[in-house]
Amino acid sequence: MGIWSRISRVFKSNVNAAIDKMEDPQKVLNQTIMDMQDQLVKAKQQVAVAIADEKRLEKQYLAEEGKAKEWTEKAKLALKAGNEELAKKALIEKQTYDNNSQGYKTEWMKQKAMTDKLRNSLKDLSDKIEDAKRKKNLLVARAKRAEAQKSIQETMSGMSENSAFETFDRMAEKVDQLEAEADATDELAADFQGSSADLDKEFKALQAGGAGADDELEKMKREMGLLSGGSSDTPKLDAPK
């Protein structure tokens, strides 16, 4: 194989691949239906012309047949009048119209047979177009579903390739680290502040507790008359012997 043949084949394959990739099923199917509709319109016009020819031949056949009947009646009239020569001439004219009538009838029957076939073909074409329309709707629905599925898969693949979810995981770990560092800072601050605060609390509690006991002790001594120089209504207890 020559180099130019190989280059030509590669070029054609690339062009065909590009065309296949560019083809939109919905647009292609719509255009196909439109082309079929145009063909149907042209076919209807052709069938209409054929039917018109059939009608014309039928009309000519009936006209010639009618003329033949007229000359038949004229021949009978001439015979009744006793004029055989005139009757013979009338029959000659009748024969001419009979021949013309038979010729038109033959052509009319052929044309009618053809138009009947054309009518059936036209109906078949119309039915096929209607069936194609229904199939087009199904194919378009399938194409849209496949395109949506493909788009989702490409999106998911792109997100995986770009490590979008890994970015979220990494940021979540970073936020966890920041929160842990903030908690550690709070605990350290509480430790430094808590030592002096707790010491103050202990002394205050000690002072509060000691003052309360002293007061209670003094009050009890006063009530018992044990305080020197003090007086109390409560009698003194006898010293143990």
So where are the chain's domains?
25-162
CB-based contact 19:73 (threshold 8 Å): no
Q: Alpha helix locations (H) across the chain?
A: 3-22, 25-80, 84-161, 164-224
Provide the token pair at 164.
């979008």
Enter the DSSP assignment of 163. Answer: T
Q: What is the rounded CA–CA span in Å between residue 110 and residue 106? A: 6
* Below-70 pLDDT ranges, the chain: 1-23, 158-165, 190-203, 205-213, 228-241
Residue with tokens 């009757």, as numbered in its chain: 87
pLDDT digits (tens, 9 = 90+) for 19-64: 455 567 778 888 888 898 898 899 999 999 999 999 999 999 999 9
φ, ψ (nearest 5 deg) of residue 69 = -65, -40
What is the model's pTM?
0.49
pLDDT of res. 240: 47
User: CA 94 → CA 99, 213, 217, distances in Å?
Assistant: 9, 161, 166
Residues in the chain: 241
CB-based contact 234:222 (threshold 8 Å): no
CB-based contact 25:132 (threshold 8 Å): no
User: What stretch of H or E contains 2?
Assistant: none
